[in-house]
Amino acid sequence: MSNSGSKPTAALALADGTVFLGRGHGAAGIRTAEIVFNTAITGYQEILTDPSYAGQIVTFTFPHIGNVGVNSQDIEALTPHAAGAVFRALPTPPSNWRAERSLDTWLADHGLGAISGVDTRRLTRRLRDQGSQNAALQVAPDGAIDVAALKAAAAAAPSIVGQDLATAVSASQRYGWEEAGWELGGYTVGKGDGPHIVAVDYGIKSNILRSLAEQGCRITVVPATSTAAEILALNPDGVLFGNGPGDPAATGQHAVPVIQEVVAADLPVFGICLGHQLLGLALGARTVKMPHGHHGANHPVKDYTTGRVEITSQNHGFAIDELDLPQGVKITHRSLFDGTIQGIALEGKPVFSVQYHPEASPGPADSHYLFQRFVEAIRARRAA
C-alpha cells in the first residue's frame, strides 16, 4: 500500500496465489475476472468503458490515474464494462476544465471496484512473464478481507477461453448513429450523405462509429446475433464487424456463418479487433490465445500495402494463427513487437480487417486512414 500505516480496504489475489493489499475505491464487493495490463498513459475513462474489457480487470501501468476526472463525453459505451481496475497511486483529484466528477465517484456510481497502492510494476512483470491469469478483487471499506477465500475464488474462476462475451455487451436492438468527431464544446453531427454502413455490434466502441460518421457515412448498428438475411435486407453499401470481448472461437459459432454469407454477397467488408478475428475464422483461419495479449496505445505496426509504420492502440488477448493461413488470405499488417498478424485481406475482394483500433480513443490517430480506405473500396465497387 502507498500508506503502510493504514488498514487495507482492498485486496487483489491472483490465481497463482500472489496477493496484493491496498486501498479500495468505488463499489464494495468481490469480482473475479482475467487480469491484464494496459500501458497507455492517457484515456483511463475510454479504457474502462471499452466493451472489449468485459470479463477483465485492468492494471494501469501509468501511475497518475484520475487527474483529468471523468466527463460524459469521453466514453466508448454508456457504462463501464471492465470488471475492475488496479492503480499504483491513489486516484488524484480532478484538475481539468472538462471534468464533471471524480474518478472515485464515477466508479461507485457504476458499481465498479478498484484497488490502489499496488506495486503495478511487479504485477505487470508477473503477467508479462507468466501470462495473463484470473484474479479476484475485493473492495471492503470495513477492512474485512478474507485472503484465503479470495485466493480460492481466483483459482476457481472460469477461463475466458470458450466464453462468448460479445452477446452480453451487444445492443439488443437495431439503431442509427449520427454522432461524428469531437470539436471544442462537444461532438459534431455527421452529414450522413455517404455510403450506408451496417455495423455489427459485438461490443463496438463509439469512436468507431464516430470515425465512420466523419467519413459522411449513414450508419445502422445491429446486434451481434443478427442474421445475414437481416443485415443484407438493410441494403448496405458496406458492412463493418466491430470489436468486442471474449473468445472469438466461441462467438464464431454463431457469427462465422453470418460473416461468410456477407462476404459471399460481394459487399465491401471491414473488420476491427474481434471483427478481424471473426473474419479470419470465416475465411478458414484459426485463432489462438496470446500469453498476455496487447493492451496499450504505443504498439508499432507495419502496413505492408504502403510500407509505413504506424503507432497503434490495441486491446486483444487472442490473435489469428499464422499456421495454415488459408489460400487467398494475405497478411497486410504485422506487429513490430512480436510479429503477430495485425491485418489481413481477401485477394480479389474488397474484404479486409485489422487487429488493432484505428479509431484510437485513447491513442494516436495514425490509423484513421483505414476508414477512408473502407469508404474508397465502397466507391470503387459502385463505379465498377
Beta-strand ranges (E) seen in the chain are 10-14, 19-26, 29-38, 56-60, 84-86, 113-116, 133-139, 175-177, 179-183, 186-189, 196-201, 218-223, 238-241, 269-272, 287-303, 308-320, 329-335, 341-346, 351-354
User: Please, are residues 154 and 136 in contact by the beta-carbon 8 Å criterion?
Assistant: yes
Reduce the DSSP state of residue 163 to 3 states and report it. Answer: coil
Helices (H), the chain: 44-49, 103-109, 120-130, 147-156, 166-169, 206-214, 228-232, 248-264, 274-282, 369-383
Which of 47, 49, 59, 50 shows the shortest CA–CA distance to 12? 59
Q: Kindly list the catalytic residues.
A: 273, 357, 359
Taking the CA atoms of 112, 114, 120 and 122 in sequence, report the sign of the dihedral they define. negative
Q: Rounded distance, CA 234 to CA 18, Å? A: 51
User: Please, are residues 373 and 346 in contact by the beta-carbon 8 Å criterion?
Assistant: no
> How does DSSP classify residue 82?
B
> How does DSSP classify residue 156?
H
Distances (CA, A) of 123 to 23, 40, 55, 224, 262: 16, 16, 19, 34, 43
